[in-house]
Amino acid sequence: MMNEKNMENNNEKRICSRHKQTDIFLLPSGKQLRVVAEMKDSIHHLCVNMVVNHPSLRIRSITCDMISVPSALCRQAINCFEQLIGRRVLSGILASNQKNPSMGCTHLTNLLYDACYNLFMAQGRILRNQLNEFFPGITEAQIIKFALMFRPELLNSCVRYSKTSPFIETVNNSSLPENANRFVALVRS
């Protein structure tokens, strides 16, 4: 990645810069997550705010805020995700999120994708913390074995989680800790 000094040395002039941030919060009930994804550039300032059930990732609410857009016409897309309420965040949710793309917003869709992707990461962190508490000394391979029980779509999602990777071979050869079924029932309840 180029830093400011390198850009100055190359006589490059920055034309555009876009900043994104995604924050995920575990709500006090412990049964819901709030994800706030925000994007700012020289033209746009957009925000997606979504609440999902945990661990199912079923969408409870989703709102968009279009603070700054190139045209007032753009704001017609503000409710473009209403049809997602009640659906689960799964791999490929964006493939069918809009029945009429001309009524949506490419930038909001991209921001929603970031929000959904980061939900999986946050949920993995929650699971890791719960497993470390429930099973002191649990290995990373055992944690991933649990994760694959809850999120089988992780398999083949990247090089590390490829069915043929040495890491997944280690995961497959690891055993679950004693009382694993009790933990699975607790999480799914």
Q: What is the pLDDT of residues 158-186, one digit of tens each?
A: 899 999 999 999 999 999 998 888 888 77
Per-residue pLDDT, 98: 47
Grouping H, G, I as helix, E, B as strand and the rest as coil, residue 61 is strand
Evaluate if residue 90 carries a pLDDT over 80: no
Average model confidence (pLDDT) for the chain? 88
**Is residue 95 very low, low, confident or very high in pLDDT (cuts 50, 70, 90)?**
very low
**Weakest mean pLDDT among 44-48, 82-86, 92-96, 148-152:** 92-96
Per-residue pLDDT, 2: 56
Cβ-Cβ contacts under 8 Å for 175 (sequence gap 6 or more) = 142
Per-residue pLDDT, 120: 85
What the block records as the tokens of 121 is: 């990461």
Cα–Cα separations (whole angstroms), residue 105 to 41, 73, 141, 169: 15, 11, 40, 42
Q: Whole-model pTM?
A: 0.79
Residue 21 φ then ψ, to 5°? -145, 140
Higher pLDDT: 139 or 96? It is 139
**Is residue 112 very low, low, confident or very high in pLDDT (cuts 50, 70, 90)?**
very high
**Weakest mean pLDDT among 63-67, 95-99, 160-164, 175-179:** 95-99
Evaluate if residue 84 carries a pLDDT over 80: yes
For the segment 12-30, the average pLDDT, to the nearest whole number, is: 95
